[in-house]
């Protein structure tokens, strides 16, 4: 049984935090689906990941290509991920379920703490997962480094 990790972004941009988390996931041997809510946002993340530091290259692809099943990291705008992920990373308020938390190694929810709507959406996701009995952790970078603030 996995766990949901909520990442409250207040200092670093989404792409930077995502690169760090994806790197750690790949070190664990996990395949990852980055789940967004719109194609334009995922295309921007795709570009940011390609333009990251050379020493932190992250092999990935945007869903819809012929090699989707082979991608260690696949950016998707729905719940289907052809790469059979061990981990789902939700961005821009993409939906996650308690069933996914139970089935996968990890579910990560990344949200902009400076955006009231994103904060409200993350709180609703936390509450729903908690009520469904899913294991969850809340991480904040408010102090300048990542600290665990809550756990269910």
Neighbours of 104 (CB within 10 A): 20
Where residue 79 sits, what CATH number does that domain have?
A: 3.40.50.10110
Exposure of 73 by Cβ count < 10 A (0-12 exposed, 13-18 middle, 19+ buried)? buried
In this prediction the pTM is 0.95
Give the range of the structural domain holding residue 22, as residue numbers without chain letter: 3-151
Model confidence pLDDT, tens digit, residues 6-20: 999 999 999 999 999
Distance between CA atoms of residues 97 and 4, nearest Å: 10
Q: How many residues does the chain have?
A: 152
Q: Which residue has the tokens 């709507």?
A: 117
How many C-beta atoms lie closer than 10 Å to residue 65's C-beta?
12
Q: Do residues 75 and 36 lie in contact, with contact meaning Cβ atoms separated by under 8 Å?
A: yes
pLDDT in tens, 11-67: 999 999 999 999 999 999 999 999 999 999 999 999 999 988 888 889 999 999 999
Say how many domains are in the chain: 1
């Amino acid at each position: 049984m996995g766990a949901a990790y909520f990442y409250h972004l207040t200092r670093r941009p989404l792409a930077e935090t995502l690169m760090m988390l994806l790197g750690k996931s790949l070190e664990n041997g996990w395949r990852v689906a980055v789940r967004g809510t719109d194609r334009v946002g995922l295309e921007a993340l795709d570009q940011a990941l390609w333009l990251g530091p050379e020493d932190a290259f992250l092999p990935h692809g945007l869903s819809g290509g012929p090699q989707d099943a082979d991608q260690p990291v696949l950016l998707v705008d729905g719940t289907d991920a052809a790469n059979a992920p061990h981990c789902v990373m939700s961005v821009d308020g993409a939906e996650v379920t308690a069933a996914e938390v139970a089935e996968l190694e990890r579910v990560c929810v990344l949200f902009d703490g400076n955006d009231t709507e994103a904060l409200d959406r993350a709180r609703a996701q936390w509450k729903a997962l908690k009520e469904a009995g899913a294991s969850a952790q809340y991480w904040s970078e408010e102090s300048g480094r990542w600290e665990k603030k809550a756990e269910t």
